Amino acid sequence: MTKRALRDAGYERRTYPRERTAVVFGAGGGSSDLSNAFGFRGQLAHFFSAKEGLPDGRQLLAQIEDTLPQWCEDTFPGVLINVIAGRVANRFNFGGANFTVDAACASSLAAVDAAVKELQLGHADVAIAGGADTTQDIFSYLLFSNSLVLSPRGRCRTFDETADGIAIGEGVAAVVLKRLADAERDGDHIYAVIRGIAGSSDGRALGLTAPNLAGQARAVRMAYEHAQLSPATVELVEAHGTGTAVGDRTEVEALASIYQAAGASVGQVAIGSVKSNIGHTKCAAGLASLIKTARAIDSRVLPPTLHVETPNRKAGFGTNPFYPNREPRPWLDGRHAHPRRAAVSAFGFGGTNFHLVMEEYARDHLPKRAATVHRSSELLVWRAADGAELERELTRLIDALAAGAEPELHDLAYSLSLRAGRRSGGVTLAIVVASREALPEQLALALELLAGEVQPEPAALKGVYHAAQPLLAGGGKLALLFPGQGSQTPFMLSELAVHFEPVRETLERADVLLTESFPQGLSHYLYPPSAYSKEDQEAQAAALTATEVAQPALGACSTAMLHLLRAFGVRGDLAAGHSYGEYVALYAADSIDFETLLRLSVARGRAIADAGGDLHGGMVAVRADAAATEEVLAGLDGITLANLNSPQQTVIAGSDEALDAALARLKERGLQARHVPVACAFHSPLVAPAADRLHAALEQAGFGPRTFPVYSNPAPRCSSRSGRAAS
């Protein structure tokens, strides 16, 4: 594990001061399988010889000699934890101090604390901090079982209402620590910066395994004093979080007592535990948490915690600064003047507590790395001179996979992209693949598609697309179409924001530009705290649907998508927008800048929201053309044919009462219709009062020349009873 840590740090081939490298490991947990075997060997003859009538112990030992381990000098590391760090120092020729610490389940975070002090005191220039726990023997299992702390379901359900105990895991981990200035000087990749770490004891407590709120809070408070920063600036906590109902509740209460006093707001901090992923690795648990959190900071992603279905009601979620995060979320931080910050806790059941505070390394001395190379799907692209050549390439890949090749999908996608980019014209094939296991079937389908044995539509449903020639060959043009209100949904573009820097940067910039427009960042509406009830989900959707929020949110997301396409080299030749989407189309054509786009989006949203007053109304999409829709609704007051979306879809707008009547009539005539998720009756007389206010905002904007054509929505014709829609 130390070798892997050094390789990740770039020191597999680079030189570093080995004579000033310290090693501190956290380990313990009682006897290992190896030590138990030696203990059995040593005690068997003794116990059998101590009582008359039993077989001779020496004879029994001779009969099972070949099943027991043989002693040698190198057996010590498997029996005595105090030589673990020494063997690491020996194998890597390190000259700094080496020792092992045992603080029960806080051992590896205690090792980090000791390693940090070695660096701070100048005793070492590099420190290897590690944790090891591979104790999964029968003796340990009996101890935990008799203590009634194991989950009967074998799942660590940290912070869930049904949490019923821990799930034991095994783990070995190591990290490389250096002073920040040294890491900068040496050009190291810096995952995160440790700002403070502190330990405390519970003092006199109720029992060995009982959590102690005061002791935990003491460690948290001391860590922030050491870090010289406020807990109110932290947005992620990796909790000790063993998954016992009382332990989880006590930990949240201890954290809340410090965070609330510092002014942290309700629902500000995502809280989770890596134990929901890998179980409780005991002595290695603290370091597992630190690694997870450092990766989260480095990749700017708030990681999920598994198995939380209903949050523990007694933990105070919803009234304190914490919420269990159930999905990976982009960690947007544009509104803050400080780096992203997180904290890690690890507690030992002997009454010892450690809390560590770390923050993002915000300087760009090295290029930012991708959040992760493992995405939910990859795009594989081929380009060949003709169908026969493409078939040969697909067949070669099929044969390689059948022979046992296991390429990483992201590597395969990259290699194919490079090859396709060097070829012009010809036959093109694209496959959207979610896993290596699914790829052979999709490749076989692609061959059937090339042979004409399957139609393009069924193949496309399975992620396989084919074109006899590039779609833009022969003078074709690429049109960009931007959506309007009604297409917004919480967590839109979240996966792209996790994986792609242009998306994240655009959304963070929107947060900054709209700081004065919303009480919370725009990203709070896009990526709100995890909702665990239908009511919370509906409330989050309603908050985003509000016109004054939805329009700048759509503007930011559409622009983020545009920036991502440009990063991939995709450029439009013309653009259009559906209703509000025209504003983004003008931005795409360089007629307005991003700040103007967002400012107009807010102005448009607020003007329309205010215009409706208490009669906001709504919109309904009808699966019919305009003529058929108008015929069915003839004589019905208060309805406007607002959007002529296509020959098969017409959108009507009006008051809630008028729409209810329209829906009833449409149902009678057998026409499908559904509400559009918007906050008011757009493109209808109900919002017409917004026109003057919006016109003034548009005049102040200062539109520049367009770099390509932008096509406008024509105003639809409306029935005489409804009047003309507001443009």
Comparing C-alpha atoms, which of 199, 194, 176 is closest to residue 339? 194
Structure tokens at 546: 């509000």
How crowded is the C-beta side of 131, counted as CA atoms within 13 Å? Answer: 30
pLDDT at 331 over 50: yes
Q: Is the pLDDT of residue 722 over 60?
A: no
Residue 375 is predicted with a pLDDT of: 79
**160 with 314: CB under 8 angstroms?**
no
Query: What superfamily does domain 479-614+687-711 belong to in CATH?
Result: Malonyl-Coenzyme A Acyl Carrier Protein, domain 2 (3.40.366.10)
Is the model's pLDDT at 314 over the cut of 90?
yes
Going by pLDDT thresholds of 50, 70 and 90, the confidence category of residue 329 is very high
Phi, psi at 476, each rounded to 5°: -65, 155
Taking CA 311 as the corner, what is the angle to CA 307 and CA 312, rounded to the nearest 5 degrees? 115
CA–CA distance, 114 with 124 (Å, rounded to integer): 11
Tokens linked to 424:
């012009």
List the alpha helices (DSSP H) in 612-654: 626-632
* pLDDT mean over 499-519: 93
Alpha helices in 75-228 (DSSP H): 76-79, 84-92, 107-120, 138-146, 180-185, 213-227
Which CATH homologous superfamily contains domain 193-362? Thiolase/Chalcone synthase (3.40.47.10)
Secondary structure (DSSP) of 451-488: TTSS-HHHHHHTTEEEESS-TTTTT---EEEE--TT--
Structure tokens given for 511: 């947060």
Q: Is 405 helix (H, G, I), strand (E, B) or coil?
A: coil
Report the first-to-last Cα separation within the chain, whole angstroms: 65
Compute the average pLDDT of residues 672-688.
91
**What is the dotted CATH code of the domain comprising 378-467?**
3.30.70.3290
Q: Per the structure block, which two tokens stand in for 555? A: 């503007």
Burial state string for 142-171 with b = 16 or more CB within 10 A and e = fewer than 16: eeeeeeebbbeeebbbbbbeebbbbbbbeb
The half-sphere exposure of 296 on its side-chain side, counting CA atoms within 13 A, is 34
Instruction: Please report the pLDDT score of residue 73 as a whole number.
Output: 72
pTM of the model: 0.86
Q: For residue range 99-108, what is the model confidence (pLDDT) as tens digits?
A: 999 999 999 9
pLDDT at position 571 is 92
Hey, how many other C-beta atoms are within 10 angstroms of the C-beta on 700?
11
Highest mean pLDDT among 19-33, 193-207, 217-231, 424-438: 217-231
Locate the domains of the chain by residue range. Answer: 193-362, 378-467, 479-614+687-711
pLDDT in the model for residue 366: 62
Is residue 240 within 8 A of residue 105, CB to CB? The reply is yes
pLDDT (tens digit, 9 = 90+) per residue, 424-437? Answer: 778 899 999 999 99
Longest dimension (CA), the chain: 112
Q: Please tell me the distance from the alpha carbon of residue 343 to that of residue 224, in angstroms, as a whole number.
A: 10
- Give the model's confidence band at 209: pLDDT under 50 very low, under 70 low, under 90 confident, else very high: low
The predicted pLDDT at position 367 comes to 61
CA 234 – CA 357 distance, rounded (Å):
9
| Chain centre distance of CA 689 | 42
Mean pLDDT of 42-58: 75
| Contacts of 563 by beta carbon, 8 Å cutoff, 6+ apart | 502, 503, 505, 506
Residue 15 contacts by C-beta under 8 Å, 6 or more apart in sequence?
Answer: none
Give CA–CA dist 626/620, Å, rounded. 13
| Residue 692, pLDDT above cutoff 60 | yes
- What are phi and psi for residue 591, nearest 5 degrees? -80, -30
Whether the CA torsion 535, 538, 544, 546 is positive or negative: it is: negative
- Residue 45 to residue 394: CA distance in whole angstroms: 67
Read off the amino acid at residue 590. D
- Pick from 716, 398, 447: which is nearest to 579 by CA? 716
Distance CA 77, CA 284 (A): 17
Is the torsion defined by CA of 357, 362, 363, 366 positive or negative?
positive
* CA–CA separation, 15 and 9 (whole Å): 12
475 to 472, 516, 573: CA distances (angstroms): 6, 46, 11
Residue 441: pLDDT band (50, 70, 90) is: very high
3-class DSSP state for residue 576?
Answer: strand
* Torsional class of 314: left (φ above 0), alpha (ψ -120 to 50), beta (otherwise): alpha
pLDDT band at 718 (very low <50, low <70, confident <90, very high): very low
Give the whole-angstrom CA distance, residue 23 versus residue 6: 12
Is residue 636 pLDDT above 80, yes or no?
Answer: yes
Q: What is the pLDDT of residues 541-577, one digit of tens each?
A: 999 999 999 999 999 999 999 999 999 889 999 999 9
Structure token pair of residue 694: 């919006």
Strands in 296-399 per DSSP E: 301-302, 322-324, 329-330, 341-348, 352-359, 378-384
Specify whether the backbone of 640 is left (phi greater than 0), alpha (psi in -120 to 50) or beta.
Answer: beta
Nearest to 360 by CA among 386, 380, 384, 331: 331
How many Å apart are CA 583 and CA 554, to the nearest integer?
10
Q: What is the pLDDT of residue 352?
A: 94
Average pLDDT over residues 413-420: 92
- Give CA–CA dist 604/692, Å, rounded: 11
State residue 197's pLDDT score: 98
Contacts of 667 (CB under 8 A, 6+ apart): 673
Residue 320 DSSP symbol: S
Question: Does 94 or 144 have the greater pLDDT score?
Answer: 94
Cβ atoms of 547 and 605 closer than 8 Å: yes
Q: Alpha-carbon distance 292 to 344, whole Å?
A: 10
* Mean pLDDT value of segment 178-199: 96
Here the tokens at position 495 are: 């996966």
CB distance 591 to 702 below 8 Å? no
Q: What is the pLDDT of residue 271?
A: 97
pLDDT given at position 130: 97
Q: What's the confidence (pLDDT) of residue 724?
A: 33
pLDDT score recorded for residue 211: 81
* Cα angle 468, 470, 476; round to 5: 125
Task: Kindly state the average pLDDT of the residues 21-37.
Answer: 82
Q: What is the mean pLDDT of the chain?
A: 90
Q: Which pLDDT band, with edges at 50, 70 and 90, does 203 fall under? A: confident
* pLDDT band per the 50, 70, 90 thresholds, residue 324: very high
Give SS3 for 409: helix
Question: Residue 539's CB: how many other CB atoms inside 10 A?
Answer: 13
